[in-house]
């Protein structure tokens, strides 16, 4: 199958310290790869490198990020503006800080469409309504400001923005971490539905291996900048080979288990 994204030997350092170390993975067309790791594992840095949004202190030492046959790392900022938001949609963890507090939801969704010039003015309204429907938000949300929306609704607005330009690739960075389990399930169900229907290739970043099961085809476990283990979802979750992966699974409490303590050190 054709790979939409191929990351090879990616090494990023900050102040001489490697935060991403020889990382490599591929995402086939229409597939979902979960990048799993705890704080400091380098998962978000990897995603930021794909968008060329690394902080100024971060230096790419080596590696390639081939998106649709072209190396992202060789792209100019001008070209990246046509890629971010248009060909690659993004959803970040905190929908409260990611949305503009003084813009109505409909304007925020329309903004992306206008910026990329892919929707005629007279079609904007209809397109915004389509997108709200796609992420299962009622039409009344159009006129609301972010503070008037619940956390789950805000994250759906983020998702509508990410999907607005019909991207080929979606980066979801901890999209449900700030939400309760019920909302998490609803949002992930919506994402899964859209992802399957439109076959959007997706990179799903999370610290929680248990949510990986709800969305991913393949899993890549990272720790301290290194890829510890990767493989199909079933292989990694059901028969993890590496101690660290086993640990990440075993330290999550399971309903009905009688453990008095959780394992902490490995």
Closer residue to another protein, CB minimum distance, 102 or 255: 255
Closer residue to another protein, CB minimum distance, 114 or 234: 234
Minimum distance, C-beta of residue 207 to another protein, in the bound complex (Å): 5
Render the burial of 123-159: b for 16+ CB within 10 Å, e for the rest: ebeebbeebbebbbbeeebbebebeebebbbbbbbbb
Closer residue to another protein, CB minimum distance, 121 or 260: 260
Closer residue to another protein, CB minimum distance, 59 or 193: 193
Cβ proximity of 208 and 34 under 8 Å? no
Residue tagged 């490599």 (tokens): 24
Question: Which residues lie near another protein (CB under 8 A)?
Answer: 38-39, 150-152, 179-185, 207-211, 213-214, 237-238, 247-249, 251-256, 259-264
Q: Residue 81 — left, alpha, or beta (φ > 0 → left; ψ -120 to 50 → alpha)?
A: alpha
Minimum distance, C-beta of residue 152 to another protein, in the bound complex (Å): 8
Minimum distance, C-beta of residue 165 to another protein, in the bound complex (Å): 30
DSSP string, 193-216: HHHHHHT-EEEEEES-HHHHTTT-
Question: DSSP 3-state helix, strand, coil percentages of the chain (rounded to 5)?
Answer: 40, 25, 35
Q: Environment class of residue 224 by beta-carbon count within 10 Å: exposed (0-12), middle (13-18) or buried (19+)?
A: middle
Minimum distance, C-beta of residue 206 to another protein, in the bound complex (Å): 10
Which residues are CB-neighbours of 260 under 8 A, at least 6 positions away? none
Closer residue to another protein, CB minimum distance, 133 or 253: 253
Minimum distance, C-beta of residue 23 to another protein, in the bound complex (Å): 19
Minimum distance, C-beta of residue 209 to another protein, in the bound complex (Å): 6
Closer residue to another protein, CB minimum distance, 78 or 259: 259
């Amino acid at each position: 199958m054709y790979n939409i994204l191929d990351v090879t030997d990616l090494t990023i350092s900050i102040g001489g310290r490697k935060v991403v170390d020889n990382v490599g993975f591929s995402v086939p067309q229409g597939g979902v790869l979960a990048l799993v790791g705890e704080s400091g594992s380098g998962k978000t840095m990897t995603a930021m490198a794909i968008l060329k949004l690394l902080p100024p202190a971060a230096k790419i030492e080596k590696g390639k990020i081939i998106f649709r046959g072209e190396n992202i790392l060789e792209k100019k900022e001008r070209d990246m503006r046509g890629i971010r938001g248009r060909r690659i949609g993004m959803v970040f963890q905190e929908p409260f800080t990611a949305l503009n507090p003084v813009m109505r939801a409909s304007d925020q969704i329309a903004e992306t469409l206008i910026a990329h010039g892919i929707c005629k003015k007279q079609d904007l309204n209809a397109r915004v309504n389509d997108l709200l429907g796609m992420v299962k938000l009622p039409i009344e949300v159009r006129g609301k400001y972010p503070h008037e929306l619940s956390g789950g609704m805000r994250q759906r607005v983020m998702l509508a923005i990410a999907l607005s330009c019909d991207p080929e690739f979606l980066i979801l960075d901890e999209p449900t971490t700030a939400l309760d389990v019920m909302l998490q399930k609803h949002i992930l169900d919506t994402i899964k539905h859209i992802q399957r229907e439109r076959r959007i290739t997706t990179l799903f970043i999370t610290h929680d291996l248990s949510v990986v099961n709800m969305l991913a085809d393949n899993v890549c476990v990272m720790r301290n900048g290194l890829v510890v283990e990767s493989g199909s979802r079933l292989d990694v979750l059901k028969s993890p080979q590496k101690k660290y992966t086993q640990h990440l699974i075993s330290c999550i409490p399971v309903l009905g288990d009688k453990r008095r303590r959780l394992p902490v050190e490995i």
